[in-house]
A = this chain, B = another copy of it.
Amino acid sequence: MDNTTGFSVEPPEAADAPSSESRRGFLKFAALTGAVVSMTANRALADGDIAFHAQDLSDEQLVDLFRTILKIRWHERTQADEMLSNPDYRGYNHFYAGQEAVASGVCATLRNSGPFDQIDVVYSSHRPSGHAIAKGVDIPRMCAENDFRATGLNGGYAAEMHLSDPDVGFIGADGMIGPSMPIATGSAFAFRARGSDQVSVVFGGDGTYATPHFHSALNNAKILDLPFIYVLENNLYHQYAHYTYSSPHKDIASAAAAYGIPSRVVDGQDVIQVYNAAKEAVDRARSGGGPSFIEAKTYRYYNHWGAPGAKAGELGAFGYDPLAITSFRPDREVRAWMQRDPVDIARRTLIEWGALDAAGAEAVEADVKAEIAAAFAWAAEQPLCTPEDGLEHVFTQGTVPARQFG
């Protein structure tokens, strides 16, 4: 359709394409019991035309993928428990449970430590804690930040929706839908301008498709050949509307492909698929091949967000959402997706690949639980903020005057 485009563009059927055989063994097809359609089965899929990068990972690296998924999951479950049971807990969260494989698979392909002028940068969304953990943010300090503590990652100024840690290239969360995408292309622009092989990645939901920023980011990334990767987590809903309310595309990736940007649809529940697509995109970006787009089909288990004082099944908690009037998530849909849990899929794959055995997996999980419990315990003991500090950090130096007293 567009003869300026030399790229082979991912057709929407790609996620259903036959897998290549993996060196780690041919996996049995686990039939789906749920109502999930047009998703791949529960197996470590290599698309016919994505090189199967994950097969070359060491056992340690594969276990790390699994560990990251678990950290995100246990951080969420622990925080949800705090909200439901601890009257002193104040943090809120936009839960990521169900989507963990996306952040974990993508960030495992990035440079997450080293000097600031060499690490890759990640721009996150209003749903950042999974991305933050995967990018390597210090979890205890993140827990403290989410509970508004003075020693939190951002001194209690940020809370969940503005988490930021440039030291690990986590430029940060952004509560607005849209603006982060053009901003992320700006970091990519800087990398290209100064001849660096760094890569800029933005995570966004299906809700970002309709924003005007979608066009700006993709169009400029393509024209200027920027080392930019747009990871669109299509969890089917933007707040209270199904994505078909805002997009004429079945696969949003096809909108990106129209710009001539190599675009893939992957099963976001399968960390190996995500890893493979991300690795391909990162390799392309580093070598000057320009932008890529990855649409991960995924699902969140909980409501749009949760807050302290929540009661299960009520607004802001973990059941149906009474504000969801126009369109809401059917019970069967939630259950069907839960049957394809990213933790289970990763565990099973690793066991089948022999990277881990069942006991080993349990040990990792026990480790992670302990680490997360310790993080929350540390956070709960951190000092609260000093009121007057609110006048700091407006500019690099100095404080602004108090004005609230007249």
Contacts and interface: CB of A to CB of B under 8 A. Distances in A.
Nearest to A9: B1
Given A212-B213, A212-B215, A245-B223, A1 B250 contact: no
Contacts of A1: 1, 9, 11-12, 254, 257-258
Interface in A1-30: 1-5, 9, 11-12
A250 B4 contact: yes
Given A215-B212, A215-B214, A259 B250 contact: no
A111 interface: no
A97 interface: no
Interface in A244-281: 245-251, 254-255, 257-260
Given A254-B258, A255-B258, A258-B255, A248 B4 contact: yes
A29 to B, nearest CB: 25
A202 to B, nearest CB: 16
A85 interface: no
B254 A2 contact: yes
A216 interface: yes
Contacts of A9: 1
Contacts of A248: 2, 4-5, 219, 222-223, 259-260
A210 interface: yes
Task: Give the oligomeric copy count.
Answer: 2
A182 to B, nearest CB: 9
Contacts of A258: 1, 254-255, 258
A223 B246 contact: yes
A216 B212 contact: yes
A250 B2 contact: yes
A260 B251 CA distance: 13
Contacts of A260: 248
A211 to B, nearest CB: 8
Interface string A196-222: 000000000000001011111001001
Contact of A2 (B219, B245, B249): B249
Contact of A249 (B4, B214, B257): B4
Interface in A299-327: none
Contacts of A246: 219, 223
A257 to B, nearest CB: 6
Contacts of A247: 219, 223
Nearest to A220: B210
A3 B249 CA distance: 8
A258 B212 CA distance: 16
A286 to B, nearest CB: 21
Interface in A163-195: none
A349 to B, nearest CB: 30
Contacts of A250: 2-4
21 contacts: A1-B1, A1-B258, A2-B250, A2-B251, A2-B254, A4-B249, A4-B250, A5-B248, A212-B212, A212-B213, A214-B215, A215-B215, A219-B246, A219-B247, A222-B248, A223-B245, A223-B246, A223-B247, A248-B259, A255-B259, A258-B258
Interface of A: 1-5, 9, 11-12, 210, 212-216, 219, 222-223, 245-251, 254-255, 257-260
Across chains A and B, which 4 residue pairs bring their CB atoms closest together, nearest first?
A: A212-B212, A215-B215, A258-B258, A2-B254
